[in-house]
Amino acid sequence: MAAGFFISKAVGIVGIVLALGAVATIIALSVVYAQEKNKTSSSGGDATTTTTTTTTTTTTTITSLAPNTTAAPNNPWNRWRLPTTLKPEFYDVTLQPFLKPDNNNMYIFKGNSSVTFTCEEATNLIIIHSNKLNYTLQGGFHASLQALNNSKAPTITKTWLETTTQYLVVQLDGPLQKGKSYVLFSIFTGELADDLAGFYRSEYVEGNVTKVVATTQMQAPDARKAFPCFDEPAMKANFTVTLIHPSDHKALSNMPVKSTQEVQIDGNSWNITTFLTTPKMSTYLLAFIVSQFDYVPSQSGEVLIRIWGRPQAIREGQGDYALQVTGPILSFFEQHYNTPYPLPKSDQVALPDFNAGAMENWGLVTYRENSLLFDNGYSSIGNKERVVTVIAHELAHQWFGNLVTLRWWNDLWLNEGFASYVEYLGADSAEPTWNIKDLMVLNEVYTVMATDALTTSHPLSFREEEINTPAEISEVFDSIAYSKGASVLRMLSDFLTEDVFKEGLQSYLNTYAYGNTVYTDLWEHLQKAVNNNNLTLPGNISTIMDRWTLQMGFPVVTVNTLTGRIQQNHFLLDPTSTVERPSDFNYTWIVPITWMTSKTSGSRYWLVQVSDTNSSFKVDSPDWLLLNLNVSGYFRVNYNQENWDQLLQQLSRNHLVIPVINRAQIIDDAFNLARAKYINVTLALNTTQFLSQEREYMPWQAALNNLKYFQLMFDRSEVFGVMKSYIQKQVEPLFKYYKDVTSNWTTVPPVLMDQYNEINAISTACSYGIPECQELATSLFQHWQNTNNNIIHPNLRSAIYCSAVATGGQEAWNFLWDRFLEATVVSEADRIRAALACSTEPWILQRYLQYTIDPTKIRKQDATSTINSIASNVVGQPLAWDFIRSNWKLLFGQYGGGSFSFSRLILSVTQRFSTEFELQQLEQFKADNQDIGFGSGTRALEQALEKTRSNINWVNENKASVLAWFTEHSR
C-alpha cells in the first residue's frame, strides 16, 4: 500500500508551494465573471484563443478563432485519446464553490490546479482535458509552465481550447525533455450547474429553505468539467484537494481532512480545508462535496465509517441500516480479497440529485437517496434489498476497480460485471437469512438474456479502438456490461469453485495494486490458481472464457433424452434475423453443464463441440432429465417433447421434487424457446399450470415476467379478456394463502422471498381485477384519505397505491400527488411517483408527462423513469410515445443522451410495438432525429426496431393459438 502514496521530495515541495499560492490566488481573484459564457474563453463553443490584458481591477477579454485548430485528424488535439507522451504524477487542486447565484443568476465555482507530469517522450505539445471551464489568462495564456529540479521549461507560444475533443492545448517553442518533470498551473472558473455531471449542484428544501449542495460525478469523462486533467483511467496520479467553503458548511473528499482554517473573504466567513493526499488513482474516482449534511459514524477495525445525508433524514434514523451493514460488508470483502481496505475512511453520502444509482468514488461513495437511506416506517423490503446490494456493489469496487483499474472503457464489463456479481456475496454476508444469491438468476441472468438474444447485442469486450468519444463511453454502461458480466463471472466461479476463483482474484489484486489492467490479466491469474489446484478443464481459462466475452449472445443447449444426443445453437429471439457481427468462434461456446434426473445427479459435463452424445442423458419414461442446475450456466435448455412432458407431469404431481430455481428455469426457458420458435407457445403456457399449487417467489416471478410479454402484446386485443380470467384463476389461491398466513394482511412473513411473493399476490390480484383485492386496496386507501393515517405496510404500498389510482379517478390522483409533494422519505416518494402513472385517465397522464420536463415538479434524475412508468400503462403508452417524439430535442438537450437511463427510455416507450404501423412510426422517428442524435440510446433504438419486427411476426403467428389456449384454460 505504501507505494501508492509515494511522492518524490521535489514534487512534494512544489505541490506545497503551489497549494499555498492557490489559496492566495483564489482569495484574491479579481477576474470579472460577468458574461461568463459569452466573453471568456470557454469549452462551450468553438475552438478559441484568448488574449487578456489584466490590471489589478479589470480584465479585458478578446476572443478570436484559433488559427491552427483545423479538423485534420492527424493533429493530436483532434484525436479522442490522449497522446502517451506525458504521464501525470501529482495534482494539487483548489476549488471554491459559490452556493448562492451571482449577479447573472448563475452558480459558479472558482479554482486553480497544478499538475506535475513526467515527459515520457519528447514533445512540444501539452494536451490535457478541459470541458466548459473558463480560464484566467496568465501572460496571455490559459496556463503557465515550469520545470522541476532546476531545469528550464520551454516557453509557451500559444494556448487554445479544442472544444470538440475537450482539450486545453499548450504549444511550446521547444520540446519537453524525456524523463524530466514539469508543472502546469491554471486558474479557472466553471458553472456549478444542475446537470448532474462533473462538479455540480444539488438542492433540497428544509424548513421551507432551499439548501444547495456542491457535489461531483466524474465517471466517465467529467472530471475535466471540474479542473483540467489527464482524464483517462490509466492516467493515475496522487491528488491533494483543497476546498474553500462557507464556514457553516462541511467539506468532504476522498481522504480525511489534513487541516482547516477559517478566513474572512469579502466580509464572509470561509473555511480552507485541505485533505490528505490520495493514493495513486484515476481521475474518474475523485470526489468532493460541500454541504450542510449530517452523519452517523461507526468503526470497522481501523476504518472510520460515516453515512451522510440531509440532516432531517439522518435525525430520523434513515442512515442507520446502511451503517449497520457497511462494516460487515467491508469485513467480508477484506477477507474475500485477502487485502485490507486501502483507505482510512469510508464515507457514504445520500444525494438528493444523482443521475446513476451510486458511484464508487474511492473513500467517498455517492448514492441516490433511495439507494442508501432506509426508513422502517416507509421503506419496503425491496428498498432494503436495494440499499444492501448497492452498498455491496460500490464497496466491491473499492478494491476491484479502484485499487486495480481497467486500462480503458472497452473492458468496463469486467469492472461493473464483477461488482454486479459479488454484490450478492457481500449482501449475503450482511443478510445471511435472505438467500439473496438466488435472486441473481432473475435479476441478472434472465433480465440480460432478453437483450443478449438480439442480433443488435454486442460482446462483453470491445476492441479498444471501438470506444473513443464520451458518447461511446456512456453507451458501454449497459445491461450487457453489468448483468451479462455478472452472469458469466458467476458461471466461471461455479466451475472453478469459489475457492480457486478467490485465489486467482487475490493474486490479481496483489500484483496490480495501484495500477491498470486489461481483462486478460485476470484470466492469467485465474489460470495460475487452476494450475496450483490441479483443476481439470477442457481448455485454459482464456480458451473457455473468450467465447463468452469476445462474441455476443449465448447458446441454447438441446438434448434428446431418447438418444442422449446434445447440441448447441446461437439462441436468437427472432430465428429469422440475420447476425451481421462476425465471430471468430462462429457462435459456438464451451459450455459447462450440470444435470440431474429424478433418480440421480452427475458430475459436470462439458459440451465443447457443436454436438455430442452423452449416455448419461439418455433416460426412460417416467424418468426425466434436468440440465443447468440452479442456472449456474449462462445458457438456455431445450428438450425433446417426451422429456418436456415428463417435467410437466412432475410439476403437476409434486413440484417440490424439482429445485426451486429450476422451477423458475423451466418456465423462463420455455417461454423464450417459444418466442424463438423452438417449441410451441402452448407448451410454454402449460408450464404455468402448476402455479396454482406454487407458493415460492422465484417460479411465480419467472411466470409473471414472461406473462408480462403476453400482456404487452395482447392488452389491446380480445386475447386479454381470457388471459385475465386465467391469471385470476391461478393467482387466487396465492392471494388467499397470503391472506391466511398474514392474518388478513396484518402481519408480515418473516422470510425475504415470502415477502416478495406476498407483494406478487396483491399486485397481480389487484392489477388483474380480482374484486376482493381491489376492495382491499380501496378501503385501505380511503382510510388513509379520511384519517390521514397510513396503515398500509410499506411492502404493499406500491400495489395498493397503483390499484387505488387506477380505480379512484382524479380525487385519488390529486390526494396522492399532494402526498408526493410533502414526502420526506425518498423511497415513499418513489413509489408514489410510480403509482401516479397507474391512472386510466388520458388527460391526467398527459398532464403528468408535462410534469416530467418541469424540474420543480419532477427532479431531473427521475424524469425518464417517470415517463417509463407512464409508458408501461396501456393507456399511457401512446401518450408517452407521442410525448417523446414531440419533445425529443428538448429531452436530448436537457439530459444529453449520456445517462444510463436514456436507453431504457427508448426501450420502455416502444415495448408494446407489434404492428407494421408502429414499426413505420419508429423508423420515421429514427429518420426525423438523425440531426439531433440518440446518444447512449443509439443501440437501444436499433434494439427497439429489432424487437418490434420480432413482435410483429410473433403476434401474427401465435395470436390464434394463444387465444384458444387461454379460452380453454380460463374456465
Positive or negative, the CA dihedral 82, 85, 89, 92 is negative
Taking the C-alpha atoms of residue 803 and residue 294, their distance in angstroms, rounded to an integer, is 37
Place of cell 482547516: 260
Taking the C-alpha atoms of residue 23 and residue 272, their distance in angstroms, rounded to an integer, is 8
Of the listed 360, 369, 394, 431, which one is catalytic? Answer: 394
Secondary-structure percent of the chain, ordered helix, strand, coil, rounded to 5? 45, 20, 35
- Sorted by sequence, the CB contacts under 8 Å of residue 456 that are 6+ apart come out as 939, 942, 943, 946
Structural element, H or E, at residue 916: helix 916-928
Please name which of 43, 212, 59 lies closest in space to residue 138, comparing C-alpha atoms. 59
- Sorted by sequence, the CB contacts under 8 Å of residue 5 that are 6+ apart come out as 238, 277, 279, 280
**How far is residue 103 from each of residues 35, 55, 108, 189, 637, measured CA to CA in Å?**
10, 22, 11, 15, 66
- 394 catalytic, yes or no? yes
Q: Which amino acid belongs to residue 556?
A: V
How do beta strands 288-291 and 250-253 pair?
A: antiparallel
Q: What is the DSSP string of 553-618?
A: S-EEEEEETTTTEEEEEE--SSTTS---S--TTTT---EEE-EEESS-B---EEE-SSEEE-GGG-
Structural element, H or E, at residue 157: strand 156-162
Taking the C-alpha atoms of residue 868 and residue 836, their distance in angstroms, rounded to an integer, is 12
How do beta strands 345-351 and 303-309 pair?
A: parallel
Positive or negative, the CA dihedral 712, 718, 724, 729 is negative
How do beta strands 238-246 and 86-97 pair?
A: parallel
54-60 contact pairs (CB < 8 A, 24+): 54/136, 54/137, 56/30, 57/30, 58/32, 59/30, 59/31, 59/32, 59/136
Q: What is the DSSP string of 773-796?
A: HHHHHHHHHHHHHHHS---S-HHH
**Neighbour count for residue 737 (Cβ, 10 Å):** 14
Helix (H/G/I), strand (E/B), else coil: 339: coil
**Neighbour count for residue 104 (Cβ, 10 Å):** 11
Taking the C-alpha atoms of residue 116 and residue 181, their distance in angstroms, rounded to an integer, is 7
* Residues with active-site annotation: 394
